[in-house]
Structure 1
Amino acid sequence: MFNRNTLLILVAALAAGLGLWAAQMAFAPGGAPAAGPALDPARLKAVRLFPAPRALPAFALQQSDGTPLTPDELRGRWTVVFLGFTHCPDVCPTTLTEMSQAQKAWDALPAERRPRLLFVSVDPDRDTPEKTGEYAAYFHPDTLAATAPEPALQEFATALGMVYMKVPLEDGDYTMDHSSALVLVDPQGRQAGLIRPPLVPADIAADLALLATEAP
């Protein structure tokens, strides 16, 4: 999905973002370390928890039903965030298919603790909130879906330490290159960790069920 020049640009952007992330993640406001979940990270197979969760700045996306998606909407349950777009030929449908297997495993959990998947389109020129929602629901009906015009979309992705960019194609069309990792947001609405490919749905399902049960 990435050509060499695009990859270099993304690596540089991600490195810059990680520098900011490292500085912000280590300490909560006032200089005190932010408290993470009271769970031994060694028990997790797919999730990589940060040493300290990172508070997310204010953001506003538009959900598929037309309502705004704000930080308050992500509080109360563990949320997995994935950036993609509906014209994606491979990574996005594969990831959403794999995540749907984890979502089905979470059906047995109480609704108030059940982890959620949030799919955010990074292609607002072609993906309306409604289209984004229809695409996400094809894989699993419980998937949250949202997008936003620029610069709000870029600000949201940057806050999560993620990158994306429009890549022109020879036929005059374009595609989107984007981070393939999944971001984990805790019930306090903070960025708490990452899930990196290759994805193992059973491990993701087990890790999130464990977090939902022991670190709600």
Structure 2
Amino acid sequence: MFDRKILLILLVALATGAGLIAAEYVFDREAPKGPELQTVRLLSKPREIPAFELQQSDRTQLIPGELRGHWTLVFIGFTFCPDICPTTLSALAGPQKRWEALPEATRPRLLFVSVDPERDTVERIGEYVHAFHKDTLSATADIPTLERFVKSLSLVYAKVPLSEDAPPDQYTIDHSATLVLLDPQGRMAGVIQPPLKPDAIAQDLIALSQAGR
């Protein structure tokens, strides 16, 4: 049964998660070295994340080593998302087009991770993200794996019924809209907070890639 108190707790958790991310920059005064950035907020020291194993749209496994050598933006969401996900992926398509001019070996990447494995098959996720840009990576996993992965990036999500008497399959997902940036070593290096600025995102990732950090 749908409980408004539980929903309130989940929404507070979402807000708290965003606050914890922001706190890392408010209270961490040491300026990271590197190119001057417009919208990316870098951690003063990149943070190692636990090993993970996600399933990609081509049914291959996505493990940390697959992302090494590239700056990677990670965005969590779900294909039934009515607003944040399509808006975000659409906004990032512009930067991705600009990144096509960079060498493939160091080109920035975008990884979309579905946190709705009950409805989002890997094939569906692949079709969904490629409608925005052909280079977008996509993956999902079972719920325990997703929870560990999302938590390691200081992100949060929650399954929420559409109404008090909604059947089990009638729900939405509340989730962080923050983009997490992984460095070429696969560490959490920073975040991008909405509202997104596509031109600034494009330029920041180009600068980081060319700096070879």
Q: Does the pair score TM above 0.5?
A: yes
Q: Distance between the aligned counterparts of 1:78 and 1:13, measured in 2? A: 23
Aligned length: 199
**Aligned pairs (5 A) from 1:25-174:** 38-40=33-35, 43-170=36-163, 171-172=166-167, 173-174=170-171
Shift of 1:12: 4.0
Shift of 1:169: 1.0
User: Would the alpha carbon gap of residues 116 and 210 (structure 1) be closer, same or farther in structure 2, given more than 3 Å must change?
Assistant: same
SS at match of 1:87: coil
Match of 2:12 in 1: 8
Q: Distance between the aligned counterparts of 1:89 and 1:118, measured in 2? A: 19
Shift of 1:13: 5.2
Match of 1:209 in 2: 206
Gaps of 5+ in 2: none
User: Would the alpha carbon gap of residues 18 and 95 (structure 1) be closer, same or farther in structure 2, given more than 3 Å must change?
Assistant: closer
The one-character-per-residue Cα deviations of 1:141-193 (angstroms, maximum 9, x if unpaired) are 10000000120011100111110010001243100000000000000010000
- Is the CA contact (8 Å cut-off) linking 2:78 and 2:115 kept in structure 1? yes
Does residue 175 of structure 2 align to residue 178 of structure 1? yes
Q: Distance between the aligned counterparts of 2:136 and 2:158, measured in 1? A: 24
Q: Distance between the aligned counterparts of 1:96 and 1:72, measured in 2? A: 24
Match of 1:200 in 2: 197
Match of 1:31 in 2: none
Match of 1:190 in 2: 187
SS at match of 1:139: coil
Shift of 1:74: 1.1
Please give the TM-score of this superposition, normalised by the length of structure 1: 0.86
Question: Cα RMSD (Å) of the superposition?
Answer: 2.3
The one-character-per-residue Cα deviations of 1:5-52 (angstroms, maximum 9, x if unpaired) are 24213234556x659x96xxx9xxxxxxxxx97414xx1011000010
The percentage of counterpart residues that share the same residue type is 54
Gaps of 5+ in 1: 27-35
SS at match of 2:131: helix
Query: 181-190 or 171-180, which moves further after superposition?
Result: 171-180
Please give the TM-score of this superposition, normalised by the length of structure 2: 0.87
- Is the CA contact (8 Å cut-off) linking 1:183 and 1:194 kept in structure 2? yes
SS at match of 2:207: helix
- Is the CA contact (8 Å cut-off) linking 2:13 and 2:156 kept in structure 1? no
